[in-house]
Amino acid sequence: MKILYRYLSINLIKYFFILVGFFSVVIVSSQLLHLPTILYHTGFFKFLQILVFVNLSFLKYQLFFGFFISALLVGYSLRENREIYAIYSAGISKNQILIPVMVLSVIFVIISLIVSLVVVPYANRERARFITVNVKKHVLDSLVERNFMRLSDDITIYVNRKNENEMEDIFIFNKKEGLTITAKKALFSDNRLTLENGFIQIPSEEGFNLLKFEKYRFVLDIKYIKRYEFEDMDNKTLITIIKQNQKEKNRAIGVMAERLFFGIPFLFTGILGFMLGLQFHKSRDALIGLVVLISILYLVLNTYSVKLIQKGTLHPAVYAGILVIYFGGLTYFFYRKR
């Protein structure tokens, strides 16, 4: 039995990693055209870093499709290679065969919750921050000493000397605010210019006021800013919104519900996929097509339910029940099928 369990577990994990690797290549390739052109000039390692963030942003559904299809392929392989008949002849029941699949299902439920609650929101926030920082950094890197440069429609900057992130004798004009800022030194870090030993000229009705500063942080108003979505907020922020912000409460509840209940399908998809491959006598392509159809219906159902929660017309517990009924019903049907 241990040999059989090890064989099934290894094959399922092997198919899973192959599929996730394939999905990663497809997803990253499809997203390359959506990256700002400037990122292609940031350097090899930084470019790889943004590709990692892009891939992690889609990790939830790579896990879902990868586990579902890999379980299908393991069941299909047992049937297609006639191994299942040898297993039944040895007195091993269908329920006993399912034990390693069920154990892996529990493991994937835990993994899916970690990915849904932590990894994907973090990756999306970091991707937005990374793109913004590097676009702005590239703009600053392109500054030429002793030349005026327009960073946007409102910001014009002049630098006397520049050495990587450090600058000397800075002049900044903010057309929108009517401010003129000068400083002896400046350091670029985390989307800001930290200015030292300078003056701010503020216009007034009588002329202008002059303020002296030792240190002043100036946020660069460069056109390209990649912001992360409400759905990518960290869990702590969402919980605070649920408790304190009535206007955005339902929206935050919808996001949290989607994250928390993402693990529910994994309780069933391993067994469902395995039984589909084992007992549904169709070609491999037809079975994969059926899995994709089941998954698409789930995605539509999931998206629609979350929207209803955000509108306050569906309770999260009902949403969880719908997922259990959908996947539980399908699993029971194909489990009982002869």
Asked if residue 54 lies in contact with residue 60, where contact means CB atoms within 8 angstroms, the answer is no
What pTM value is reported for the model? 0.74
Handedness of CA 188, 189, 195, 196 (dihedral sign): negative
With respect to residue 142, please indicate whether it lies within any of the assigned structural domains: no
> Model confidence over 206-240: pLDDT tens digits?
667 778 888 887 766 555 445 556 778 888 888 99
How high is the mean pLDDT of the chain?
A: 84
- Judgement on whether residues 86 and 115 belong to the same structural domain of the protein: yes
Task: Name the H helices within the chain.
Answer: 2-31, 44-57, 59-80, 83-89, 94-97, 99-114, 120-141, 235-244, 249-260, 266-279, 284-311, 316-336
Point out the domain boundary residue: 219, 248, 270.
219
Contact call for residues 112 and 198 (beta carbons, < 8 A): no
Q: Are residues 188 and 39 in the same domain?
A: no
Domain extent, residue 273, equals 2-137+231-336
Query: Which is it for strands 179-189 and 148-150: parallel, antiparallel or unpaired?
Result: unpaired
Domain limit, last residue, from 191, 219, 247:
219
| Contact assessment for residue 197 and residue 176, using Cβ atoms and an 8 Å cutoff | no
Structural domain total, the chain: 2
- Give, for all 338 residues of the chain, the pLDDT tens digit: 788 888 889 999 999 999 999 999 888 888 777 666 556 656 677 778 888 888 888 899 899 999 999 999 999 998 888 888 888 888 888 888 899 999 999 999 999 999 999 999 998 888 877 777 666 666 666 667 778 877 666 778 888 887 777 888 888 887 777 788 888 888 876 567 788 888 888 777 666 777 888 888 776 655 544 555 677 888 888 899 888 888 888 999 999 999 999 999 999 999 999 999 988 888 889 999 999 999 999 999 999 999 999 888 999 999 999 999 999 999 998 888 75
250 & 167 share domain: no
